[in-house]
Amino acid sequence: MLRFLRFRMMFNKTVGRWLDAKGPCSDVIVSSRIRFARNLGGILFPGRAGSAEREEIVQRVEAALQKLSIYNPDRFVANSDLSELRTKYLVERHLVSPDFARMVAQRAVFVSSDETLSVMVNEEDHLRMQILASGFDLAPALAELQSLDEALGSALGYAFSGRLGFLTACPTNVGTGMRASVLVHLPGLVLTREIEKVLRGAFQIGLAVRGLFGEGTDTQGNLFQISNQATLGKSEEEIVQSLNKIAAEVVGFERKARTYLLENLRRDIEDKVFRAEAILRSARLLNSHEATNLLGVLRLGVACGLLTGPGQTRGSAPTLGAVNELMILCRPANLQVFYDREMNQGERDALRAELVRSRLEEKADSR
Amino acid sequence: MLRFLRFRMMFNKTVGRWLDAKGPCSDVIVSSRIRFARNLGGILFPGRAGSAEREEIVQRVEAALQKLSIYNPDRFVANSDLSELRTKYLVERHLVSPDFARMVAQRAVFVSSDETLSVMVNEEDHLRMQILASGFDLAPALAELQSLDEALGSALGYAFSGRLGFLTACPTNVGTGMRASVLVHLPGLVLTREIEKVLRGAFQIGLAVRGLFGEGTDTQGNLFQISNQATLGKSEEEIVQSLNKIAAEVVGFERKARTYLLENLRRDIEDKVFRAEAILRSARLLNSHEATNLLGVLRLGVACGLLTGPGQTRGSAPTLGAVNELMILCRPANLQVFYDREMNQGERDALRAELVRSRLEEKADSR
């Protein structure tokens, strides 16, 4: 029963604060993320450690977390409490990695109550900790993660080389052990077909571009992750500065594309946006892929102010934050946790349509 | 200037009375049609006649029509007044045949003011006359056409053989010279995938099945024309009886399919119908093909009463007649005549969306 209560608090119907669209440049940048990879000195990396050692790592990390003010026992979930559905729910919320979801033994995750901070234990490295921030806000996220990192590091004793920096299971993470990324919404560049050019430019200066859920996933909803590749030979601040620079350029390109579209192809854009809104408000069956894509188009309409014009008589427009939230709640595992039961695809499609409809109607009613 | 005024009266914004959906079985049968092919004795068929003879035929037919109470000079339009756009407009309204539209010289057409009667002059035969009736109503349509036929025949003197019956340019029309058809809306049979079976059955007993605009056209909007093939060896009444029988069966099959769908797949049908309605009410660009298909789905929703339920908050549902009307007004030539100017495809798509939107909103406002 206690365990059940823990789940009720950890797996809930609200989404992380980083999705509130109140951060800088939220019209284009959904969120900013900083992640550190860390390992404890004197213990094998998780992939080579035995189950006793892995269990010891979980216990040591939880003990270190317990000393921090953010710690809450309800929000530290170990392997035995991580069903496939619940792990998938955490992946969909960007709180654990797809790799973490594929592991099965002696792993754990801590998630702060506002879901802006998470610490994975025994993913590829002993520790993978991240800060998620709303909008374009990398530097504050870095500062916050550095402060957590120092507190945990002094308690745990990291594996560190004076020459290489932080030691990690995979050489691509050695050095700072840091990954910085922004989740960007680029429908304007997709519609003007400039997206390839812009992403190629980012790639050429050493950044990686991926779909919504990491490597190998497609770009549903015109959402892209742009992140640094190099972790060696640069300071954390330099990495953030360089990502800041390119992300600011991408924001500029995207806004320019949107302006171009509104000035030259307004009817086509209105057609796309109003159709998307109409389907979201009316469908009785919505699969996950379609919902994400339609919400992506709706997000463009909200960001461009197309849903507040005199032609729109269906109540006030949803906010960017409400659209961000629906994008997460519509994912298969989140939908099932939201409705508190396992469902087959047909049931999910029906309840997803119902959830979207009721959320968009609420927004219309609350004017 | 006089000619211009004639066009204003002949080419207008209202559609024929046969589209009012007030006839029997209008949930399934849009309209019933009887057509007679007739030729004047002692003159070559139009395809072999010279231009002087063809001109003479036009004049003789107009003279015969002038003696009838339905005659109105504004509604007898000769070749010189039939631009490509206006001829296409008449084709889209089912008032002249596609073959008539392809001819260029010495042709004419008379259309009654309610568009339930039309007489083509110098199509394949000297005369092609038809009655269009709302819903499933073949026998009254036949009686009405027989009465017109007698009046014209006594004035004109038809080419007739005691052995063969009425002589026609194409042997397939010899005999009664009659074609009887019903325009049926079969979304239920399409969705349950029984359509092939039903249409094959109709074909096997000697009926022809075609898409909305005659031979070789696809079945946009799930609309099909079922008509008799044989014109020889059967009386007009026998032909109507046999078509009546099969059409009544098709109505039964279609209604059964709709009941099955509503009882077993209600959510899927609602999803299709509500999406179609939402897009029609929201799109800013609608091409002709999509409009016809969406209106076909909307028609199913109206016929099944799906748009009047408590879940529907967007005003009262459109009537079947309003949907029938939009299907005609959305066709390319009708749209241009409606807005009284020639347009390219982009302009048409925009104004089509505007027309549909305003019509559906009107219905919603008038509750």
What's the pLDDT score for residue A7?
56
Compute CA A90 distance to the chain's CA centroid, rounded to the nearest angstrom: 10
Chain A residues with CB inside 8 Å of B278's CB?
A: 278-279, 281-283
Q: Quick one: average pLDDT of A60-74? A: 94
Pair A194, A292 in one domain: no
Pair A121, A241 in one domain: yes
**Of A227, A243, A259, which residue is a domain's last?**
A259
The pLDDT tens digits of the residues spanning A23-49 come to 999 999 999 999 999 999 999 999 999
**Of A203, A238, A259, which residue is a domain's last?**
A259
What's the pLDDT score for residue A312?
55
Pair B252, B287 in one domain: no
Residue A1 lies inside a defined structural domain of this protein: no
- Interface probe, candidates B266, B272, B274, B307, chain A, greatest A C-beta count within 10 A: B274
What's the pLDDT score for residue A202?
84
pLDDT band, residue A317 (cuts 50/70/90): confident
The pLDDT tens digits of the residues spanning A182-208 come to 999 999 999 999 998 988 888 888 888
Indicate yes or no: CB of A277 within 8 angstroms of CB of B282: yes
What's the pLDDT score for residue B171?
87
Residue A175 lies inside a defined structural domain of this protein: yes
Q: Is 60 exceeded by the pLDDT of residue A98?
A: yes
What's the pLDDT score for residue A173?
87
Indicate yes or no: CB of A353 within 8 angstroms of CB of B281: no
User: Based on the structure, what is the number of domains in chain A?
Assistant: 2
Which amino acid is it at B200?
R
Residue B65 lies inside a defined structural domain of this protein: yes
pLDDT band, residue A322 (cuts 50/70/90): very high
The pLDDT tens digits of the residues spanning B199-258 come to 888 888 888 888 755 444 456 889 999 998 877 778 999 999 999 999 999 999 999 999
CATH number, position B80: 3.30.590.10
pTM of the predicted model as reported, rounded to 2 decimal places: 0.90
Chain B residues with CB inside 8 Å of A268's CB?
A: 284-285
Chain B's closest residue to A274, CA to CA, is B282
CA distance A332 to chain B (A): 19
Residue A241 lies inside a defined structural domain of this protein: yes
Residue B37 lies inside a defined structural domain of this protein: yes
Pair B222, B288 in one domain: no
Reading the block at residue B162, the tokens are: 């005691």
Pair A255, A357 in one domain: no
Torsion of CA A19, A25, A27, A33, to 10 degrees: -40
Q: Which residues of A touch B (CB under 8 A)?
A: 267-268, 270-271, 274-275, 277-279, 281-285, 350, 353
The pLDDT tens digits of the residues spanning A233-271 come to 789 999 999 999 999 999 999 999 999 999 999 999 999
Pair B361, B300 in one domain: yes
Reading the block at residue A172, the tokens are: 């691509």
> Which of A270, A275, A285 is opposite residue B271, by nearest beta carbon?
A285
Indicate yes or no: CB of A282 within 8 angstroms of CB of B277: yes
Q: How many CB pairs under 8 A join A and B?
A: 44
Torsion of CA A145, A151, A155, A159, to 10 degrees: 40
What's the pLDDT score for residue A1?
39
Higher pLDDT, A118 or A232: A118
Reading the block at residue A203, the tokens are: 């790639």
Q: DSSP code of A207?
A: E
Pair B50, B159 in one domain: yes
Residue A235 lies inside a defined structural domain of this protein: yes
| Non-local CB neighbours of B344 within 8 Å, separated by 6+ positions | none
Pair A188, A291 in one domain: no
Number of Cβ within a 10 Å radius of residue B299:
27
| Non-local CB neighbours of A123 within 8 Å, separated by 6+ positions | A46, A96, A97, A99, A100, A103, A107
Pair B290, B150 in one domain: no
**Measured distance CA(B107)–CA(A186) in Å, rounded:** 58
**Measured distance CA(B129)–CA(B137) in Å, rounded:** 17
C-alpha pair distances (Å), A93 with each of A46, A115, A212, B147 = 24, 9, 11, 75
Task: Give the phi and the psi of residue A324 in degrees, each rounded to 5.
Answer: -55, -45
What's the pLDDT score for residue B1?
39
Number of Cβ within a 10 Å radius of residue A334:
25
Indicate yes or no: CB of B285 within 8 angstroms of CB of A278: no
Instruction: With H, G, I as helix, E, B as strand and everything else as coil, classify residue A296.
Output: helix
> Which of A271, A281, A285 is opposite residue B278, by nearest beta carbon?
A281
**Over chain B (367 residues), what is each successive 10-residue block's mean pLDDT?**
54 90 98 96 92 94 95 89 91 94 89 96 96 98 97 94 90 90 96 90 84 57 89 87 94 97 97 97 96 96 85 71 96 94 95 96 55
Chain A residues with CB inside 8 Å of B301's CB?
A: none
Radius of gyration over alpha carbons of chain B, in Å? 21
Q: What is the 3-state secondary structure (H, E, C) of chain B?
A: CHHHHHHHHHCCCCCCHHHCCCCCCCCCEEEEEEEEEECECCCCCCCCCCHHHHHHHHHHHHHHHHCCCCCCHHHEEEHHHCCHHHHHHHHHCCCCCHHHHHCCCCCEEEECCCCCEEEEECCCCCEEEEEEEECCCHHHHHHHHHHHHHHHHHHHCECEECCCEECCCCHHHCECCEEEEEEEECHHHHHCCCHHHHHHHHHHCCEEEEECCECCCCCHHHEEEEEECCCCCCCHHHHHHHHHHHHHHHHHHHHHHHHHHHHHCHHHHHHHHHHHHHHHHHCCCCCHHHHHHHHHHHHHHHHCCHHHCCCCCCCCCCCHHHHHHHHHHCCHHHHHHHCCCCCCHHHHHHHHHHHHHHHHHHHHHCC
Q: Which residues of B touch A (CB under 8 A)?
A: 267-268, 270-271, 274-275, 277-279, 281-285, 350, 353
Chain A residues with CB inside 8 Å of B274's CB?
A: 282-284
What is the average pLDDT score of chain A?
90
Indicate yes or no: CB of A275 within 8 angstroms of CB of B274: no
C-alpha pair distances (Å), B153 with each of A83, B40, B60, B73, B126 = 85, 9, 12, 20, 12
Pair B189, B70 in one domain: yes
Pair A107, A124 in one domain: yes
Residue A73 lies inside a defined structural domain of this protein: yes
Which amino acid is it at B286?
L
CA distance B332 to chain A (A): 19
> Which of A271, A278, A282 is opposite residue B285, by nearest beta carbon?
A271
Which amino acid is it at B179?
R
- For residue A347, give its domain range: 266-366
Chain A's closest residue to B361, CA to CA, is A313
Radius of gyration over alpha carbons of chain A, in Å? 21
Instruction: With H, G, I as helix, E, B as strand and everything else as coil, classify residue A182.
Output: strand
Pair B270, B255 in one domain: no
Indicate yes or no: CB of A282 within 8 angstroms of CB of B283: no
**Of A228, A244, A259, which residue is a domain's last?**
A259
CA distance B345 to chain A (A): 14
Q: Is 80 exceeded by the pLDDT of residue A283?
A: yes
Task: Give the phi and the psi of residue A40 in degrees, each rounded to 5.
Answer: -80, 140
| Non-local CB neighbours of A300 within 8 Å, separated by 6+ positions | A185, A187, A188, A222, A258, A269, A272, A273, A306
What number is the ipTM of this complex? Answer: 0.87
Chain B's closest residue to A357, CA to CA, is B311
- Interface probe, candidates A262, A284, A313, A358, chain B, greatest B C-beta count within 10 A: A284
Task: Give the phi and the psi of residue B238 in degrees, each rounded to 5.
Answer: -65, -40
**Measured distance CA(A147)–CA(A153) in Å, rounded:** 10
Chain A's closest residue to B279, CA to CA, is A275
